[in-house]
Amino acid sequence: MASESTTRSVDVQQLISGAARLELKALIAGVECWQTWISQAAKLSNIASDTLNALQEDKASLSDTARRLTEFGKDNTEVFTALSSRLGKTYFDELGRLTDAINVKPDPASGPSRPVAPAMNVTTGKPRRKKARRKA
């Protein structure tokens, strides 16, 4: 039995540029994460500073501080959730482009690239038998 061998050509330049684009997107995502983190830390710092000033002037209110911290927590969660979703989508889009460069679809007229063998039983080394379905 002769087996057919099909060769797949991969555009190396497209593959390398795709990998470089993916790495740049990851670097940009890292920088954007740090920018977001610093921005959110600055907001929290402003809340803490305002609270300390209010304490010094005896105008501090526990309910006001709790409200501001709760609002900050909700905003912080929304900001990082949106960032994560957006960056994840961008990453997987780039990863999809990279895999498309690698996965060149073979010509369907040429048939399968290798013959399909039946599943083998590990203990006996013989082809597995299909199990009959039980009727309910």
The continuous run of DSSP H or E covering 62 comes out as helix 62-102
pLDDT tens digit string along 25-76? 889 999 999 999 999 999 999 999 999 999 999 888 889 999 999 999 999 9
7 three-class SS: coil
* Res 104: pLDDT: 59
What's the mean per-residue pLDDT of the chain?
A: 79
CA angle 18, 19, 22 (to 5 degrees): 85
